[in-house]
Amino acid sequence: MPPAQPDPTVSDAPVIALHNLHKCYGQLEVLKGVDLVAPRGHVVSLIGSSGSGKSTLLRCCNLLEDSQQGEIRFEGEAVKWRGHGLGRHPADRAQVTRIRTNLSMVFQQFNLWAHLTVLQNVMEAPVTVLKRDRKEVEEKARHYLAKVGIAEKADAWPAQLSGGQQQRAAIARALCMEPRALLFDEPTSALDPELEQEVIRVIRALADEGRTMILVTHDMKLAADCSDHIIFLHQGLIEEEGPPDTLFRAPRSERLRGFLSSTAA
Protein backbone atom coordinates (compact mmCIF):
# COMPACT_ATOMS: atom_id res chain seq x y z
CA MET A 1 0.00 0.00 0.00
CA PRO A 2 1.49 3.39 -0.95
CA PRO A 3 1.87 6.01 1.80
CA ALA A 4 -1.05 8.36 2.30
CA GLN A 5 -0.89 11.48 0.16
CA PRO A 6 -0.95 14.93 1.80
CA ASP A 7 -4.45 16.22 2.43
CA PRO A 8 -4.93 19.38 0.32
CA THR A 9 -7.61 20.62 2.74
CA VAL A 10 -5.16 20.76 5.65
CA SER A 11 -4.14 24.22 6.85
CA ASP A 12 -0.64 25.53 6.19
CA ALA A 13 -0.48 26.54 9.85
CA PRO A 14 2.04 24.66 12.03
CA VAL A 15 0.74 21.30 13.19
CA ILE A 16 1.55 22.32 16.76
CA ALA A 17 2.32 25.77 18.13
CA LEU A 18 2.80 26.57 21.82
CA HIS A 19 3.20 30.07 23.20
CA ASN A 20 4.30 31.03 26.73
CA LEU A 21 3.37 27.61 28.12
CA HIS A 22 3.53 27.13 31.88
CA LYS A 23 3.05 23.84 33.72
CA CYS A 24 2.99 23.33 37.47
CA TYR A 25 2.63 20.37 39.78
CA GLY A 26 1.36 22.09 42.89
CA GLN A 27 4.04 24.63 43.84
CA LEU A 28 6.62 23.08 41.49
CA GLU A 29 6.80 24.98 38.18
CA VAL A 30 8.14 22.56 35.56
CA LEU A 31 7.63 24.72 32.45
CA LYS A 32 8.17 28.44 32.90
CA GLY A 33 7.01 29.99 29.63
CA VAL A 34 7.99 27.88 26.64
CA ASP A 35 7.35 28.51 22.94
CA LEU A 36 7.46 25.71 20.37
CA VAL A 37 6.51 25.53 16.70
CA ALA A 38 6.35 22.28 14.70
CA PRO A 39 5.71 23.12 11.03
CA ARG A 40 4.28 20.47 8.75
CA GLY A 41 6.93 18.02 7.59
CA HIS A 42 9.50 19.14 10.15
CA VAL A 43 11.19 17.24 12.97
CA VAL A 44 11.65 19.14 16.24
CA SER A 45 13.84 17.50 18.89
CA LEU A 46 13.78 18.34 22.60
CA ILE A 47 17.04 17.74 24.45
CA GLY A 48 18.19 18.51 27.97
CA SER A 49 19.02 16.96 31.31
CA SER A 50 16.59 14.79 33.26
CA GLY A 51 14.03 17.04 34.93
CA SER A 52 14.39 19.87 32.41
CA GLY A 53 10.72 19.54 31.33
CA LYS A 54 11.11 17.74 27.98
CA SER A 55 8.59 14.93 28.52
CA THR A 56 6.17 17.25 30.30
CA LEU A 57 6.26 19.62 27.32
CA LEU A 58 5.58 16.74 24.95
CA ARG A 59 2.62 15.55 27.03
CA CYS A 60 1.22 19.09 27.08
CA CYS A 61 1.30 19.10 23.26
CA ASN A 62 -1.38 16.42 23.00
CA LEU A 63 -3.19 17.46 26.18
CA LEU A 64 -2.20 14.46 28.29
CA GLU A 65 -1.18 17.13 30.79
CA ASP A 66 -3.10 20.32 31.55
CA SER A 67 -0.99 23.48 31.37
CA GLN A 68 -1.72 26.40 33.69
CA GLN A 69 -0.98 29.28 31.33
CA GLY A 70 -0.23 29.89 27.68
CA GLU A 71 -1.66 29.01 24.29
CA ILE A 72 -1.72 25.71 22.41
CA ARG A 73 -2.74 25.65 18.75
CA PHE A 74 -3.30 22.58 16.58
CA GLU A 75 -3.20 23.42 12.86
CA GLY A 76 -4.07 27.00 13.73
CA GLU A 77 -7.00 26.09 16.00
CA ALA A 78 -6.61 27.30 19.59
CA VAL A 79 -7.37 24.88 22.40
CA LYS A 80 -10.34 26.12 24.41
CA TRP A 81 -9.87 26.38 28.17
CA ARG A 82 -11.99 26.95 31.23
CA GLY A 83 -10.70 28.03 34.62
CA HIS A 84 -7.37 29.56 35.56
CA GLY A 85 -4.05 28.46 37.02
CA LEU A 86 -4.15 25.03 38.63
CA GLY A 87 -7.89 24.93 37.92
CA ARG A 88 -7.44 25.34 34.14
CA HIS A 89 -8.73 22.46 32.01
CA PRO A 90 -9.75 21.98 28.37
CA ALA A 91 -13.30 23.24 27.83
CA ASP A 92 -14.21 21.08 24.83
CA ARG A 93 -13.76 17.31 25.27
CA ALA A 94 -14.61 16.64 21.61
CA GLN A 95 -11.81 19.01 20.59
CA VAL A 96 -9.39 17.19 22.90
CA THR A 97 -10.31 13.82 21.42
CA ARG A 98 -9.90 15.12 17.89
CA ILE A 99 -6.49 16.61 18.64
CA ARG A 100 -5.24 13.50 20.44
CA THR A 101 -6.27 11.21 17.59
CA ASN A 102 -4.17 13.37 15.25
CA LEU A 103 -1.10 13.45 17.50
CA SER A 104 0.00 9.85 18.00
CA MET A 105 2.35 9.30 20.93
CA VAL A 106 5.10 6.67 21.15
CA PHE A 107 6.14 6.11 24.75
CA GLN A 108 9.36 4.90 26.30
CA GLN A 109 7.63 1.79 27.68
CA PHE A 110 5.86 0.47 24.55
CA ASN A 111 2.41 0.17 26.31
CA LEU A 112 1.21 -2.71 24.13
CA TRP A 113 -1.87 -4.66 25.25
CA ALA A 114 -0.54 -8.00 26.48
CA HIS A 115 -3.81 -9.86 25.72
CA LEU A 116 -3.88 -8.76 22.05
CA THR A 117 -1.68 -9.92 19.21
CA VAL A 118 0.65 -7.43 17.56
CA LEU A 119 -1.80 -6.99 14.66
CA GLN A 120 -4.72 -6.49 17.05
CA ASN A 121 -2.72 -3.91 19.00
CA VAL A 122 -2.07 -1.91 15.83
CA MET A 123 -5.72 -2.15 14.72
CA GLU A 124 -7.38 -1.41 18.06
CA ALA A 125 -7.53 2.40 18.09
CA PRO A 126 -8.52 2.98 14.43
CA VAL A 127 -11.35 0.45 14.80
CA THR A 128 -12.64 1.39 18.28
CA VAL A 129 -11.85 5.12 18.43
CA LEU A 130 -12.09 6.18 14.78
CA LYS A 131 -14.79 3.59 13.90
CA ARG A 132 -13.02 2.66 10.67
CA ASP A 133 -13.81 -0.43 8.64
CA ARG A 134 -12.02 -3.45 10.11
CA LYS A 135 -10.86 -4.89 6.77
CA GLU A 136 -9.49 -1.56 5.65
CA VAL A 137 -7.72 -1.09 8.99
CA GLU A 138 -6.21 -4.59 8.85
CA GLU A 139 -4.74 -3.84 5.42
CA LYS A 140 -3.21 -0.62 6.72
CA ALA A 141 -1.98 -2.28 9.91
CA ARG A 142 -0.14 -4.97 7.95
CA HIS A 143 1.32 -2.26 5.71
CA TYR A 144 2.69 -0.35 8.70
CA LEU A 145 4.03 -3.51 10.37
CA ALA A 146 5.91 -4.20 7.15
CA LYS A 147 7.10 -0.60 7.10
CA VAL A 148 8.75 -0.98 10.51
CA GLY A 149 10.16 -4.39 9.58
CA ILE A 150 8.08 -6.80 11.65
CA ALA A 151 5.37 -7.98 9.22
CA GLU A 152 6.10 -11.58 10.21
CA LYS A 153 5.23 -10.81 13.86
CA ALA A 154 1.60 -9.83 13.15
CA ASP A 155 0.15 -12.87 14.92
CA ALA A 156 2.67 -12.94 17.77
CA TRP A 157 1.93 -11.81 21.33
CA PRO A 158 3.85 -8.80 22.68
CA ALA A 159 5.63 -11.00 25.23
CA GLN A 160 7.13 -13.00 22.37
CA LEU A 161 8.86 -9.91 20.93
CA SER A 162 12.17 -8.31 21.84
CA GLY A 163 12.12 -4.79 23.24
CA GLY A 164 13.12 -3.36 19.87
CA GLN A 165 10.35 -5.28 18.13
CA GLN A 166 7.81 -4.13 20.71
CA GLN A 167 8.81 -0.51 20.19
CA ARG A 168 8.54 -0.92 16.42
CA ALA A 169 5.06 -2.39 16.94
CA ALA A 170 4.21 0.69 19.01
CA ILE A 171 5.40 2.91 16.15
CA ALA A 172 3.25 0.92 13.68
CA ARG A 173 0.30 1.40 16.04
CA ALA A 174 0.89 5.16 16.06
CA LEU A 175 1.21 5.25 12.26
CA CYS A 176 -2.01 3.30 11.78
CA MET A 177 -3.92 6.25 13.23
CA GLU A 178 -2.53 8.24 10.26
CA PRO A 179 -1.92 11.25 12.49
CA ARG A 180 -0.86 14.77 11.57
CA ALA A 181 2.22 14.34 13.78
CA LEU A 182 4.10 11.70 15.74
CA LEU A 183 5.29 12.45 19.28
CA PHE A 184 8.19 10.32 20.56
CA ASP A 185 9.02 10.31 24.28
CA GLU A 186 12.51 8.81 24.71
CA PRO A 187 11.63 5.94 22.35
CA THR A 188 15.01 4.19 22.65
CA SER A 189 16.04 4.78 26.27
CA ALA A 190 14.58 1.47 27.55
CA LEU A 191 16.46 -0.59 24.94
CA ASP A 192 19.84 -2.26 24.78
CA PRO A 193 22.21 -0.60 22.27
CA GLU A 194 21.71 -3.29 19.61
CA LEU A 195 17.92 -3.12 19.83
CA GLU A 196 18.09 0.68 20.01
CA GLN A 197 19.53 0.76 16.50
CA GLU A 198 16.48 -1.09 15.11
CA VAL A 199 14.20 1.68 16.33
CA ILE A 200 16.56 4.50 15.31
CA ARG A 201 16.55 3.21 11.72
CA VAL A 202 12.74 3.37 11.66
CA ILE A 203 12.66 6.91 13.10
CA ARG A 204 15.24 8.10 10.57
CA ALA A 205 13.21 6.57 7.73
CA LEU A 206 10.08 8.38 8.96
CA ALA A 207 12.00 11.66 9.10
CA ASP A 208 13.23 11.07 5.54
CA GLU A 209 9.58 10.72 4.44
CA GLY A 210 8.87 14.24 5.67
CA ARG A 211 6.62 13.28 8.57
CA THR A 212 5.96 15.87 11.25
CA MET A 213 7.53 14.71 14.50
CA ILE A 214 8.43 16.01 17.93
CA LEU A 215 11.14 13.88 19.48
CA VAL A 216 12.31 13.82 23.08
CA THR A 217 15.63 12.01 23.02
CA HIS A 218 18.86 11.43 24.90
CA ASP A 219 20.53 10.36 21.63
CA MET A 220 22.34 13.41 20.29
CA LYS A 221 23.33 11.67 17.05
CA LEU A 222 19.69 10.83 16.34
CA ALA A 223 18.68 14.43 17.09
CA ALA A 224 21.45 15.77 14.85
CA ASP A 225 20.66 13.42 11.97
CA CYS A 226 16.85 13.72 11.95
CA SER A 227 15.96 17.19 13.17
CA ASP A 228 15.15 20.41 11.39
CA HIS A 229 15.12 22.28 14.70
CA ILE A 230 16.43 21.46 18.17
CA ILE A 231 15.33 22.94 21.49
CA PHE A 232 17.60 22.66 24.53
CA LEU A 233 15.57 22.92 27.72
CA HIS A 234 17.10 23.79 31.07
CA GLN A 235 15.03 23.97 34.25
CA GLY A 236 11.79 24.57 32.38
CA LEU A 237 13.05 27.26 30.01
CA ILE A 238 14.50 27.24 26.52
CA GLU A 239 18.20 27.88 27.04
CA GLU A 240 19.05 27.68 23.33
CA GLU A 241 17.44 26.54 20.08
CA GLY A 242 18.21 26.37 16.40
CA PRO A 243 19.17 24.05 13.54
CA PRO A 244 21.34 21.02 14.43
CA ASP A 245 24.49 22.34 12.73
CA THR A 246 24.39 25.51 14.78
CA LEU A 247 23.51 23.94 18.12
CA PHE A 248 25.97 21.08 17.99
CA ARG A 249 28.89 22.74 16.22
CA ALA A 250 28.75 26.24 17.71
CA PRO A 251 26.66 26.30 20.90
CA ARG A 252 26.44 29.78 22.43
CA SER A 253 25.25 28.77 25.89
CA GLU A 254 27.72 27.56 28.50
CA ARG A 255 25.00 25.24 29.81
CA LEU A 256 24.50 23.68 26.38
CA ARG A 257 28.25 23.24 25.95
CA GLY A 258 28.40 21.48 29.30
CA PHE A 259 25.41 19.28 28.46
CA LEU A 260 26.86 18.23 25.10
CA SER A 261 30.21 17.52 26.73
CA SER A 262 28.56 15.28 29.33
CA THR A 263 26.54 13.34 26.73
CA ALA A 264 29.67 12.77 24.62
CA ALA A 265 31.58 11.34 27.58
Last residue of a domain, one of 178, 209, 233: 178
| Residue 24 sits in the same domain as residue 90 | yes
Are residues 88 and 58 part of one domain? yes
Residue 121's domain spans which residues? 111-178
pLDDT tens digit at each of 265 positions of the chain: 444 444 544 568 999 999 999 999 999 999 999 999 999 999 999 999 999 999 999 999 999 999 999 999 999 999 999 999 999 999 999 999 999 999 999 998 888 999 999 999 999 999 999 999 999 999 999 999 999 999 999 999 999 999 999 999 999 999 999 999 999 999 988 888 888 999 999 999 999 999 999 999 999 999 999 999 999 999 999 999 999 999 999 999 999 999 999 987 5
Q: How many domains does the chain have?
A: 2
Other beta carbons within 10 Å of 260: 17
Bridge-based pairing of strands 237-242 and 89-90 is: unpaired
Residues 92 and 215 reside in one and the same domain: yes
Q: Both 173 and 211 in a single domain?
A: no
pTM: 0.91
Packing angle, helices 163-176 and 134-147, rounded to 10: 140
Q: Are residues 190 and 169 in the same domain?
A: no
- For residues 131 and 174, membership in a common domain is answered with yes
CA gap 216, 223 in Å, rounded: 9
